[in-house]
Amino acid sequence: MCGIIGYIGNRSAIPILVSGLMRLEYRGYDSAGLALSVRGSLKVHKAAGKLFRLKSILPKRSGGKIGIGHTRWATHGAPTDINAHPHLSADGKTAVVHNGIVENAAELRSLLEDEGVEFVSETDTELLAHLIARETDASLEQRVGKALALVQGTYGIAVIHCDESDRIVVARHGSPIIIGVGDREMLVASDIAALVRYTQQVVHLDDGEIATLDAKGFRTMTMDAQPIPKSPSTVSWQDDAYERGEYAHYMRKEIFEQPAAIARTLSGRIEDRFHTAHLGGLNLEASDLRDIKRVKLLGCGSAFYAGVAGAHFIESLARIPASAEPAAEFRYRNPVIERDTLHVAISQSGETLDTLMAIQEVRRSGGPVLGIVNVVGSSIAREAEGGIYMHAGPEVSVASTKAYTCSLVALVLLALHLGRMRDLSIERGSNLIEALKRLPDDIESALATEDSLRDLAQRHARCSSAFYIGRGTGFAVALEGAQKLKEISYIHAEAYPSSELKHGPLALVGPELPTFMVMPHGAMLEKSIVSLEEVKARKGPVIALTHPGDARIARRADSVIEIPHTDDLLAPVVMAIPLQLFAYHCALALGRDIDQPRNLAKSVTVE
């Protein structure tokens, strides 16, 4: 959600800024712009809509070697040319790009208007430019620090000034800012994706920090100018990981990358000797983990649905009470936080603001926190005491696929680790480990169902609504399946436990409402078959997602998608694949913007 890119060095800034903006498109945006410092003045170019509109108005040549760029996702003010970033101070000398929200914007706007400032846009960001310009007799970084002292809310900002064209000043509070260290050039971005084409050396700012970049290096400090030494770390992701290659969409590419991604999540983490998981990054002693009395899993969207399945994994293997909760709701209900409760934050980006603020609330109260994230060095990874990196690789499509399944695998590993510290038997641990080793092959088999799912999508893409139902971990699969269909095809979809059909949803079942039934074999299969009969009795079309071998399902369901038998706890991982493919092909049949669905952003860094 929103993106920042900045460059200072000896090369022309425009190609680098545009390249960075292209890498940030996946985050979701509705306008874009950039500002260049050229021969003592600032040149600003911006346009509502997709990036090609901005590219069409950029000059063919420019002497600017310092600049900042932005992709905006509208909050304050509609997506228009005027409201697009960067924003200028009244004298035209200060340019600002900003991710986040100024919560006291109305108050500050009134203050500035009383001082005679005339606003051009409807945005909260413009007032930052005026606040910085309002300060005098100080360096740019000092002016930025004084201005931000008045601001309540979240921000990641980059600032340039035409009279100090040897620097970019950046600051962070709640919204990511990453410095890229190059060879006699420096970059800054809100996302590593915009940097890896030019450098693998990065520095993450923490909340309450400010930095000054020039072509030779960077300085980091507190808001009141106290130095904070920081050293670069190396990013493992390469630029070609962000290319689509032979695939028409990033989403399809990432669906088909799942066998390799899951193999990376498992790599080095299976302990055959003791039939457990080796999780060295937890940073908690075995005695601390044995003292855990309950586990709470926090996430938003697909990460929350992974947590629903994860709670089942932990209770089944470790026999510890576990529950999942939307992170955005958690901190606002005055939660009871106990030292013997382990909180686990799940986030692909590691920057999801609601989840980050939830775990900050836990840490403030002294509770232990682990993170399950994909991006090394991200805010949640740094805030948590330890955790598990998914190693899914870059995920560009807004709809999460490989990060979702990799988070499920990470949660199985955590549950196995906790279980073997307690009373989980060697036999059960050994069987699960063998199933984990087969999991990439099982995913390959699930991917082979694509042709059947393409045909199903062609038949059902014009439906106005759909049900997804399941029991046990099948319900978690149903939640994620409905989410995928909604977010990329715009077809209304709801997920329910199968047991809830008679308590309301059955009133909607009829010939026009397809029901996707998640039916793994196991203890709940018989009850799932009863639910199938209930839907069929109301003439509802049923698509059954199940394992081979039950003639009753094949006889009664309208369509059957079969995936390989696997361990009961791993069925949610394998069963997620056909639901991803079904949503993808529905969206394709309807001509949707699959990788950048309307109104959505990849990394939600505002509340």
Q: Quick: pLDDT tens for 502-556.
A: 888 889 898 999 999 999 988 888 888 888 889 998 999 999 999 998 889 989 9
- Placement of tokens 């509770």 in the chain: 367
Domain ranges of the chain: 3-241, 244-447, 449-607
Selecting among 43, 93, 296, 602, the annotated active-site residue is 602
Checking if the pLDDT of 606 tops 90, the result is no
Selecting among 2, 162, 406, 586, the annotated active-site residue is 2
- Distance of alpha carbon 498 from the chain centroid: 29
For residues 80 and 122, give the distance between their C-alpha atoms in angstroms, rounded to a whole number.
10
For residues 556 and 531, give the distance between their C-alpha atoms in angstroms, rounded to a whole number.
11
- Establish whether 2 is a catalytic residue: yes
Checking if the pLDDT of 271 tops 70, the result is yes
For residues 50-74, give the mean pLDDT. 90
The answer to whether 218 and 181 are in contact (CB under 8 A) is yes
Matching fold, domains 244-447 and 449-607: yes
pLDDT at site 524? 84
Q: Binning pLDDT at 50, 70 and 90, where does residue 607 land?
A: low
Q: Comparing C-alpha atoms, which of 235, 191, 225 is closest to residue 99?
A: 191
For residues 463-482, give the mean pLDDT. 94
Q: Pseudo-torsion of CA 75, 81, 87, 90, nearest 10°?
A: -120
Q: Quick: pLDDT tens for 392-405.
A: 999 999 999 999 99
Domain 244-447 has CATH 3.40.50.10490: yes
Class of 449-607 in CATH: alpha beta
Lowest-pLDDT choice from 22-31, 259-268, 272-281: 22-31
pLDDT at site 40? 87
Q: Binning pLDDT at 50, 70 and 90, where does residue 170 land?
A: very high
- Distance of alpha carbon 505 from the chain centroid: 31
For residues 2-7, give the mean pLDDT. 93
Checking if the pLDDT of 559 tops 70, the result is yes
The answer to whether 471 and 523 are in contact (CB under 8 A) is no
Q: Quick: pLDDT tens for 78-130.
A: 889 999 999 999 999 999 999 988 999 999 999 999 999 999 999 999 999 99
Q: Quick: pLDDT tens for 360-374.
A: 999 988 889 999 999
pLDDT at site 401? 97
> How large a percentage of the chain has pLDDT more than 90?
75
Instruction: Give whole-number Cα distances, 221 to 136, 182, 209, 227, 570, in Å.
Output: 20, 20, 6, 4, 47
For residues 411 and 391, give the distance between their C-alpha atoms in angstroms, rounded to a whole number.
14
Segment (H or E) for 459: helix 450-460
Checking if the pLDDT of 212 tops 90, the result is yes
pLDDT at site 205? 94
Q: Comparing C-alpha atoms, which of 379, 385, 381 is closest to residue 362?
A: 385
CATH topology of domain 3-241: Glutamine Phosphoribosylpyrophosphate, subunit 1, domain 1 (3.60.20)
Q: Quick: pLDDT tens for 424-434.
A: 999 999 999 99
- Establish whether 502 is a catalytic residue: no
Please, is 401 exposed, middle or buried when counting C-beta atoms within 10 Å of its C-beta (0-12, 13-18, 19+)? buried
Dmax over CA atoms of the chain, in Å, equals 82
Q: Binning pLDDT at 50, 70 and 90, where does residue 1 land?
A: low
> What is the phi/psi pair of residue 534, to 5°?
-65, -40
Q: Binning pLDDT at 50, 70 and 90, where does residue 343 land?
A: very high
> What is the phi/psi pair of residue 2, to 5°?
65, 155
pLDDT at site 603? 67
Q: Which amino acid is at 370?
A: L
pLDDT at site 235? 85
For residues 257-264, give the mean pLDDT. 97
Q: How does the average pLDDT of the chain come out, rounded?
A: 92
Strands (E), 9-93: 31-38, 41-48, 66-72, 87-88
pLDDT at site 387? 95
Checking if the pLDDT of 332 tops 90, the result is no
